[in-house]
Amino acid sequence: MILITGGLGFLGSHMAAMLLSQGHEVILVDNLSHSRMEVLERLEYMAGRYVTFFRLDIRNTPALQKIFDQYAVSGVIHCAGMKSTLDSVMQPLDYYNDNVGGTMSLLRVMQRSGVKTLVYSSSLAVYGSQTDDSALTEKSLINPETPYANSTVMCEEILHDLFTAEPDWRIAILRHGNIAGAHPSGIIGEWPTGVPGNLMPSLAQVAKDERGALEIPVREEGKVDSSGIRDYVHVMDVAEAHMYVLGWLFNQPQALEVFNIARGEGVTVPEVVKSFEAATSKEIANETVAEREGEAATIVADIRHIQELLKWTPSRTLDDMATDMWRFYQSL
């Protein structure tokens, strides 16, 4: 059985849907701080069967240990954690407590239970802003610029230290780009609680007249093209990459590998807006605002490592992300 932390969250739910569709048994763990119980109902509807779920904060080590004692867990996909760049600047202690504390608790339970296969969902944010025009490789300088990114780097360092001490572990760190889109069925997708911190849900809210104009941060007032450049990747591509990596790990005697998961293409906010306008056939009202603290200028990944080693390449476009996201949001 595969245990997924943050299993009802955006990435975790799509990972669960993909595993379930291929006949795998999963255990979902989520404290529902950034997700909804309705996601579980939708996953069970899609799978046509009961899905094992525990409402649990993974920092509750004894409760998490009981799950490992009760079920034959063979591997873990760790998606749980707080991920808002802006919120982390305002609430750094919460981010270190949740992200680092949660990872430590999970690893301790895995260690005690003899479960040593782990896929850790990291982020391209660990690199910070690029200093030149070259895409970021897995060996690029690590330069976290926010508490969120720094907490993620800390988790990666813990995994490296653990592997050095116990080299029989099989660990993969997946640094993904900006995840967007939704399941093509429209049944699950990015379901924000409160004000969304990601771009596509914000665009959907503007398109449905649930909020005013979209704010586009720029470095110089009036120069829209100077908005942050990001590497967007479809959530189904990210889930698929996790599948490739998990299957690869199970065939290794030991491993610690880092992979960039993205499209390898830089996209500005205005380009995302244009794609979303095409998907919705609506004009998205927007206005420029000053750049927010902690926002990197440009983050674009080099994905040749996973392409060459695992033969994985993203197949979905920015237009696919916008179309799938809008289909899901309309179903809410």
Q: What is the mean pLDDT of the chain?
A: 91
Specify if 273 maps to a domain: no
Predicted confidence (pLDDT) per residue in 73-103, tens digit: 999 999 999 988 888 999 999 999 999 999 9
- pLDDT value at residue 227: 58
Predicted confidence (pLDDT) per residue in 289-312, tens digit: 766 554 556 889 999 999 999 999
Predicted confidence (pLDDT) per residue in 234-279, tens digit: 999 999 999 999 999 999 999 999 999 999 999 988 899 999 999 9
- pLDDT value at residue 223: 42
Record the pTM.
0.93
Considering 95, 120, 127, 148, which one is annotated as catalytic? Answer: 148
Instruction: Give the residue numbers spanning the domain of 160.
Output: 2-180+232-262
- pLDDT value at residue 296: 55
18 in Cβ contact with 4 (< 8 Å)? no
Q: In the predicted model, what is the mean pLDDT of residues 127-152? A: 88
Specify if 157 maps to a domain: yes
Cα–Cα distance between 165 and 147 in angstroms, integer? 27
Q: Is residue 220 scored above 70 in pLDDT? A: no
237 in Cβ contact with 316 (< 8 Å)? yes
Specify if 329 maps to a domain: no
Specify if 134 maps to a domain: yes
H/E stretch holding 260: strand 255-261
H/E stretch holding 249: helix 235-250
Specify if 191 maps to a domain: no
Cα–Cα distance between 70 and 139 in angstroms, integer? 39
Q: In the predicted model, what is the mean pLDDT of residues 138-149? A: 94
The total number of structural domains in the chain stands at 1
Specify if 10 maps to a domain: yes
Specify if 40 maps to a domain: yes
Specify if 39 maps to a domain: yes
Active site residue 148: yes
Q: Is residue 45 scored above 50 in pLDDT? A: yes
H/E stretch holding 95: helix 92-95
Measuring CA to CA, which residue among 309, 117, 84, 89 is closest to residue 198?
A: 84
- pLDDT value at residue 288: 73
- pLDDT value at residue 331: 85
Q: 3-class SS at 282?
A: coil
Confidence of residue 22 (pLDDT cuts 50, 70, 90): very high
CATH of the domain at 22: 3.40.50.720
Report, in angstroms and rounded to the nearest whole number, the Rg of the chain calculated over CA atoms.
Answer: 19
9 in Cβ contact with 192 (< 8 Å)? no
Q: Pick the range with the lowest mean pLDDT from 161-175, 188-202, 237-251.
A: 188-202
